[in-house]
Structure 1
Amino acid sequence: MKKIIQLMPDYYCYPLWWAAGSGQAGDIDPNTLPLKPETIQKLMAWSDTYDDILNEDDPAASGFNSQAEEDAFEKEGIKLWLQLRQELAPEYEVGYMSQRLGKHLSDPSELLTAVKSI
């Protein structure tokens, strides 16, 4: 049976999470998965970028400084998602929580459909 995880940023957490229905909960330390060191480094840099947008004085005011920064973050997230799917197959099924689209994606083909709808 495949282990189901998702790539999803959250403040001051690892960017990988056990998916609902996986029988496990919480974030996942990427160092515990069979990933290339370069992939782990990219995951942590992506996570750090998200941490940097948190406004601790007013969390509701958190966000990227520009649309270009938000787009770059989403693009990197998609690249990481595709890399994770490749590196963790066939043991893991990896989903992606798109901040830009506000939805969970389980298959890359959903990206095209989602992008066409915006």
Structure 2
Amino acid sequence: MFSHYKTDDLVKQRMKLMPEFECYPIWIADAEGIHHTISIDSLLITSALKKRLKEWDKQFQSTFNSDYPPDSDFINESERDAYQKEGVEIYQQLVNELGNIFDVYYYPTY
């Protein structure tokens, strides 16, 4: 669906960095403003940022409690805080690498 980026001189596409269970953490809005998750590998970003995003998402996915999803969470507050700090840093790097194409937003889960 989003194999390449489409942009014009007036409007940037909207991208969300938003972790979600059993989904990729990157979401791009279509022409109607509906966000769709896309593969990290489909992003035109550095391999280092792809690796960082994958590790960050893997950490989030590991908190999923399939027996009772509302109980999904990090083991403790310090792990959650470190995860959020990493999310902010990834967001900033996405803005640096894609900010000329996308309006990038970060929506923390916790």
Scaled to the shorter chain, the TM-score interval is 0.7 to 0.9
Q: CA shift at 1:60, angstroms?
A: 1.2
**Aligned match of 2:59:** 49
1: CA distance, partners of 2:101 / 2:91:
15
Q: Is structure 2 residue 24 aligned with structure 1 residue 14?
A: yes
Q: CA shift at 1:20, angstroms?
A: 8.0
Identity %: 31
User: What TM-score, normalized by structure 2, do the two folds share?
Assistant: 0.83
Corresponding letter in the other structure for 2:88 = I
Q: Relative to structure 1, is the Cα distance of residues 33 and 24 closer, same or farther in structure 2, using a 3 angstrom cutoff?
A: farther
Q: CA shift at 1:34, angstroms?
A: 1.3
**Aligned match of 1:64:** 74
Query: Deviations 1:20-41 (Å, cap 9, x if unpaired)?
Result: 8764531011222210011011
Query: Deviations 1:81-115 (Å, cap 9, x if unpaired)?
Result: 00000000201110000234xxxxxxxxxxxxxxx
- Where do 4+ consecutive residues of structure 1 move more than 4 Å? 19-22
2: CA distance, partners of 1:94 / 1:19:
11
User: What TM-score, normalized by structure 1, do the two folds share?
Assistant: 0.77
Question: Which residue, 45, 50, 54 being the options, matches 1:35?
Answer: 45
Unaligned runs of 5+ in 2: 1-10
Higher relative contact order (CA closer than 8 Å, sequence separation 6+): 2
Unaligned runs of 5+ in 1: 101-118
Secondary structure, in 3 states, of the residue corresponding to 2:88?
Answer: helix
2: CA distance, partners of 1:32 / 1:24:
18
Q: Which has the higher helix share?
A: 1
Question: How many residue pairs are counted as aligned between the two chains?
Answer: 100
CA RMSD of the aligned region, Å? Answer: 1.7
